């Protein structure tokens, strides 16, 4: 572990000398993540990028890319583009990245099940804003907005790791 790592502990996520309250998947932490199980996968996951809603907030990091109305994430194991950023129109099951609620106003992308993606092993493990304390995710790690923005501003995409 290095100081730039995000480390999930029983008391929250530790990063840069601070511990942040967070929510994890409703299925707990899993060593055998599967699509739709609601679990947060254990292991070491590299933060690979940052997306944000430019119409709602300023760029949270110099490398952050804006989320547009056609931006989606494929979650269909039958899709050749499974577990990747895709664009509408898209004929496979997917998740919209530009949501009406604020959960994806800032999204930290991870390398979970990438390069290449194994169909059915789980997709879209993000770090994003949470609904409220104690409310679980579908497998992502979620934070209060102010904490997520603080974390995003201090990341080193490609070098920062999430350790679960």
Tell me the per-residue pLDDT of 10-20, one tens digit each, with 9 for 90 and over: 999 999 999 99
Q: What is the pLDDT of residue 88?
A: 98
Distance in angstroms (rounded) separating the CA atoms of residues 22 and 12: 6
Q: Supply the mean pLDDT for the chain.
A: 96
Q: How far apart are CA 135 and CA 121, in angstroms?
A: 23
Asked if residue 80 lies in contact with residue 94, where contact means CB atoms within 8 angstroms, the answer is no
Q: Quick one: CA torsion of 152, 35, 82, 124, rounded to 10 degrees? A: -10
Catalogue all structural domains in the chain, each as residue range(s) with its CATH number. Answer: 6-163 (2.40.440)
Neighbours of 12 (CB within 10 A): 15
Residues 6 or more apart whose CB falls under 8 angstroms from that of 156 comprise: 4, 47
Cβ-proximal residues to 152 (8 Å cutoff; 6+ apart), any chain: 50, 52, 60, 61, 64, 106, 108
Using CA atoms in the order 113, 140, 9, 157, what is the torsion angle rounded to 10 degrees?
60
For 62-109, how does the pLDDT look when each residue is reduced to its tens digit (9 = 90+)?
Answer: 999 999 999 999 999 999 999 999 999 999 999 999 999 999 999 999
DSSP secondary structure string for all residues of 89-143: S-SS-EEESS-SSSTTSEEEEE-TT-SS--TTS----EEEE-SSTT--BSSSEEE
What predicted TM-score, i.e. pTM, was given to this entire model?
A: 0.96
């Amino acid at each position: 572990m290095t100081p730039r790592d995000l480390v999930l502990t029983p008391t929250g996520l530790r990063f840069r000398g601070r511990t942040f309250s967070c929510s994890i998947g409703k299925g707990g932490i899993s060593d055998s993540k599967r699509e739709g199980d609601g679990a947060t996968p254990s292991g070491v996951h590299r933060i690979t990028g940052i997306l944000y809603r430019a119409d709602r907030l300023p760029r949270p990091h110099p490398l952050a890319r804006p989320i547009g109305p056609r931006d989606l994430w494929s979650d269909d194991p039958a899709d050749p583009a499974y577990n990747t950023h895709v664009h509408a129109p898209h004929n496979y099951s997917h998740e919209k990245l530009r949501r009406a609620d604020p959960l994806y106003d800032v999204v930290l992308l991870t390398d979970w099940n990438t390069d290449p993606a194994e169909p059915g092993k789980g997709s879209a493990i993000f770090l994003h804003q949470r609904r409220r304390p104690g409310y679980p995710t579908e497998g992502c790690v979620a934070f209060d907005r102010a904490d997520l923005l603080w974390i995003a501003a201090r990341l080193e995409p490609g070098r920062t790791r999430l350790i679960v």
